[in-house]
A and B are shown apart, each in its own frame.
Chain A
Amino acid sequence: MNQATPSADRHSEIWDLLPWYANSTLSDADQRTVEAHLESCTECARELSFLSGLSATMHAEEALLVPAERSLAAVTGRIDTVEAARQGRLDWRDVARIVRAKLAAGGGFRLDPALAAIALLLIVVTAWFGSSAFEPEFRTLSNVEAQASDAEPTIRLVFAGTATIDELQELLTGLGVTLVQGPSNYGVYTARIAAAPNGAQPVEVLDELRRHPLVSFAEPIPGPEAPGSAP
C-alpha cells in the first residue's frame, strides 16, 4: 500500500476529477491539470479509457421514435382542461365526461389531483345551488345538441407523417370535418365538426378520427377558442 505522499494525494485528486473530465464538464483550469497528469500516469489513462468506453456505449443507443407532436397534443389537452376548470368554464359533468372518455380510450389515464379537487368542489357547489347554476359553457362533443348551430364542436388534430393531401381531403370531407386553422409550428390543426354526410354524431366522428391510421391525435378543445389563437 502506498503511503500518502504529495504525489499520491495529487493522483487521488485527479482520479476523482476523471469522471468529469470524461464528460467535458470540468473548468478549463481543472482540465489542464488533468491533462498534465495523464501524460505521466498510466493508471489514470486506463481509467479514462474505461470511462470513455462507458460514455460511448451509453450514447450508442438508438434514438427513441416517440412522436413528440402526439405527446404534446395530449399534454396540451390536459392543460386546456385544468385551465378551463380554473377559469370556471368547466363543470363536473365535463370532468366526468373527460374521465369516461379517457378510460374508454384506455392507456394509463391518471386523474390530475388538482383536477380531481376542482371536480369535487364543483360537484359539492352544484349540489348546493342546483345544476342550473352551472350551465356548461365548455363545449364537449357530447353536449353538442344543446349548442347553437354556429357553435360547431372544435377539435385538435395531428396527422400521421405519411398522410398525403388527397388522403386527408378524402378523410375529412367524408366525416364532415373542416380545418379552420393550422398547422401550428408543431403540426397541430384546429378543426370543426359540421354535419357528417352519413348523419354520424360528432362523438362518432371523433371516434372515427381517433381510430383512423392517418390520425395521430384527435381531442376536443374545451371552451370557446377564438380563431387566431395558436393551438
Chain B
Amino acid sequence: MPPSAMRAPSTRNSDPGEDLILLRRVAERDREAFERLYLEYHPRVIRFLYRLTRNTETAEEVFNDVMFVVWQKASDFRGHSRASTWILGIAYRKGLKAAAKARRLRAQRPFSELELATLQEPRSMVDRRELRDWVGKALDSLPDPQRIVIELAYFLGHSCAEISEIVGCPVNTVKTRMFHARRRLRDLLPHLGAPAASPSAAEISE
C-alpha cells in the first residue's frame, strides 16, 4: 500500500473565505449569516464537543454557548487566523470546562452511555463499538491537553500551527503534547493499525 493511501482525507470541509465573509456579516448583526455559520459548524463542533464531554445534551448546550459568543464577539475577530480556528478556540475553552465537569459526573454513574448501548446492540455493531470504545478509553487516559491535540488533529483534521492557535500555546508545545500522546497510545493500543493474529475463542478452548 502506498503511504499516501494511509493518510486521512482532510476534514476541514468549510471554505475559509466564505466563513470569513459570514463572520464579518455576523459582526454587522446579520442574522441570516449567523444562521448559516451556525448550521455549517453544528455537525463537526457538536461531535468534537461530544467527544470531549461524552454527553449529547452537554455538547449541544456548550455549542450554543460558543455560537452565542460568536454572535457577541464577531466584531472582535481581526482575521489574523482562519474563522474556523477562532471558533474552535472558543469551543476548546468552553469544552474543556464542560469535559472536566462531565468526567466528574461519569465517575458517579455505574454504566457509561456507551456501555448501556452496547448491551442492546447486535454483535457486528458491538465489535465496531468495542474498537471505538477501546480507543476512546485509551484517549480518556491521556491528560486533557494531550487528548485535545489528538482530537483536533485526527478528529477535526487541523494542522500543528492551527492547533497552537486554537489552544493558545506555542507550536513546540503542541509537538511535545503530540509526542507524549503518541507514546502513551502506542503502549495502550499496540496492535492498532497492525492487528495481531489473535487466536479465536474456539482455538483457545481446544
Binding site for B on A (CB under 8 A): 16, 19-26, 34-35, 38, 45-61, 63-64, 66, 68, 71-72, 74-76, 78-79, 82-83, 107-108, 112, 114, 184-186, 230-231
Minimum distance in angstroms from B197 CB to a CB of chain A: 15
Complex contacts, A21 vs chain B, CB 8 Å:
3, 7
Known: A24-B10, A49-B6, A60-B128. A71 touches B194 (CB 8 A): no
Over the window 32-45 of chain B, the binary record of Cβ atoms lying under 8 Å from chain A Cβ atoms (1 yes, 0 no) is 10111011001100
Complex contacts, A25 vs chain B, CB 8 Å:
10, 153, 157-160, 162
The reply to whether the CB of B182 lies closer than 8 angstroms to some CB of chain A is yes
Once the chains bind, are A66 and B56 in contact (CB under 8 Å)?
A: yes
Considering the chains assembled together, what is the distance between the CA atoms of A65 and B168 in angstroms?
31
The reply to whether the CB of B50 lies closer than 8 angstroms to some CB of chain A is yes
Once the chains bind, are A50 and B132 in contact (CB under 8 Å)?
A: no
B7: which of A52, A75, A78 is its contact (CB, 8 Å)? Answer: A52
Minimum distance in angstroms from B127 CB to a CB of chain A: 11
The reply to whether the CB of B79 lies closer than 8 angstroms to some CB of chain A is no
B3: which of A23, A35, A79 is its contact (CB, 8 Å)? Answer: A35
Complex contacts, B9 vs chain A, CB 8 Å:
24
Considering the chains assembled together, what is the distance between the CA atoms of A35 and B4 in angstroms?
8
A72: which of B38, B59, B151, B175 is its contact (CB, 8 Å)? Answer: B38
B68: which of A19, A59, A78 is its contact (CB, 8 Å)? Answer: A78
A25-B153, A48-B3 provided; 12 other pairs, C-beta below 8 A?
A22-B6, A24-B9, A35-B3, A49-B193, A59-B155, A60-B128, A60-B131, A68-B43, A76-B35, A78-B68, A186-B39, A231-B31
Binding site for A on B (CB under 8 A): 3-4, 6-11, 29, 31-32, 34-36, 38-39, 42-43, 46-47, 50-51, 56-57, 59-61, 63-64, 67-68, 71-72, 128, 131-132, 135, 150-151, 153-155, 157-160, 162, 175, 178-179, 182, 185-186, 189, 192-194
Considering the chains assembled together, what is the distance between the CA atoms of A178 and B36 in angstroms?
26
Classify the secondary structure of A's interface with B: helix
Once the chains bind, are A66 and B46 in contact (CB under 8 Å)?
A: yes
Q: Which residue of B lies closest to A57 (CB)?
A: B135
Once the chains bind, are B50 and A64 in contact (CB under 8 Å)?
A: yes
Complex contacts, A24 vs chain B, CB 8 Å:
7-10, 157
Q: Which residue of A lies closest to B39 (CB)?
A: A68
B135: which of A35, A49, A58, A75 is its contact (CB, 8 Å)? Answer: A58
Known: A75-B68, A112-B68. A16 touches B8 (CB 8 A): no
What number of A-B contacts does a CB cutoff of 8 Å give?
A: 147
Complex contacts, B56 vs chain A, CB 8 Å:
64, 66
Q: Which residue, A21, A46, A55, A83, has most C-beta atoms of chain B within 10 A?
A: A55
Minimum distance in angstroms from A118 CB to a CB of chain B: 13
Complex contacts, A231 vs chain B, CB 8 Å:
31
A74: which of B10, B64, B178 is its contact (CB, 8 Å)? Answer: B64
Considering the chains assembled together, what is the distance between the CA atoms of A186 and B37 in angstroms?
12
Complex contacts, A53 vs chain B, CB 8 Å:
192-194
Complex contacts, A83 vs chain B, CB 8 Å:
29
Considering the chains assembled together, what is the distance between the CA atoms of A174 and B80 in angstroms?
54
Considering the chains assembled together, what is the distance between the CA atoms of A230 and B31 in angstroms?
8
Once the chains bind, are A19 and B155 in contact (CB under 8 Å)?
A: no
Complex contacts, A63 vs chain B, CB 8 Å:
43, 47
Q: Which residue, B47, B68, B193, has most C-beta atoms of chain A within 10 A?
A: B193
Known: A16-B179, A45-B3, A51-B182. A66 touches B59 (CB 8 A): yes
Once the chains bind, are A23 and B179 in contact (CB under 8 Å)?
A: no
Once the chains bind, are A50 and B192 in contact (CB under 8 Å)?
A: yes
Known: A50-B194, A75-B67. A55 touches B8 (CB 8 A): yes
Once the chains bind, are B182 and A79 in contact (CB under 8 Å)?
A: no
B159: which of A20, A49, A75 is its contact (CB, 8 Å)? Answer: A20
Q: Which residue, B10, B68, B158, B185, has most C-beta atoms of chain A within 10 A?
A: B68
Considering the chains assembled together, what is the distance between the CA atoms of A116 and B31 in angstroms?
23
Considering the chains assembled together, what is the distance between the CA atoms of A32 and B72 in angstroms?
43
Considering the chains assembled together, what is the distance between the CA atoms of A78 and B65 in angstroms?
10
Once the chains bind, are A50 and B193 in contact (CB under 8 Å)?
A: yes
